[in-house]
């Protein structure tokens, strides 16, 4: 993904790859459509990625938390991978929108840095 060469991502996708975005109720089937969706996405520049965590679920599952930015747009994705024969067969992604914390719990919480780290030591 960091290469921004979207067609090369197909090398790690199974022949029957499926991507699902439950929040927008969309499904993309196949490496070609996945590459095309990324290539056609309205970006302001080259995409960069920061991996916050990867959870290894064994031979057939993994979860990642990754931030993506094109220099203007920023997003954070939680992605659930189903693997088969060393390739990604199914990917379910959630791209939550950030929001301001409600005032009613301000006395119970502490603010976090944008990268997810607490401001406290």
Distance, in Å, from the CA atom of 101 to the CA atom of 111, rounded to the nearest integer, reads: 9
Length of the chain: 121
Sign of CA dihedral 6, 54, 51, 69: positive
Tell me the domain boundaries of the chain.
12-97
CA angle (109, 110, 113) in 5-degree steps: 135
Kindly report the CATH class assigned to 12-97: alpha beta
pLDDT (0 to 100) of residue 98:
87
User: pTM of this prediction?
Assistant: 0.84
b/e 54-66 (16+ beta carbons within 10 angstroms → b): eeeeeeeebebeb
pLDDT tens digits for 51-106? 999 999 988 999 999 999 999 999 999 999 999 999 999 999 999 988 899 999 99
Distance, in Å, from the CA atom of 87 to the CA atom of 67, rounded to the nearest integer, reads: 22
pLDDT at 117 over 70: no
């Amino acid at each position: 993904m960091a290469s921004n060469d979207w067609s090369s991502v197909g090398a790690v996708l199974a022949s029957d790859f499926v991507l699902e975005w439950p929040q927008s109720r969309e499904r993309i089937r196949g490496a070609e459509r996945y590459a095309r969706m990324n290539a056609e996405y309205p970006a302001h520049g080259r995409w960069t990625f920061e991996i916050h965590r990867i959870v290894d679920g064994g031979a057939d599952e993994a979860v990642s938390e990754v931030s993506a930015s094109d220099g203007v747009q920023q997003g954070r994705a939680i992605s659930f991978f189903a693997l088969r024969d060393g390739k990604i067969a199914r990917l379910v992604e959630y791209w939550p929108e950030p929001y301001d914390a409600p005032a009613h719990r301000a006395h119970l919480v502490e603010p976090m840095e944008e990268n997810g780290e607490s401001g406290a030591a």
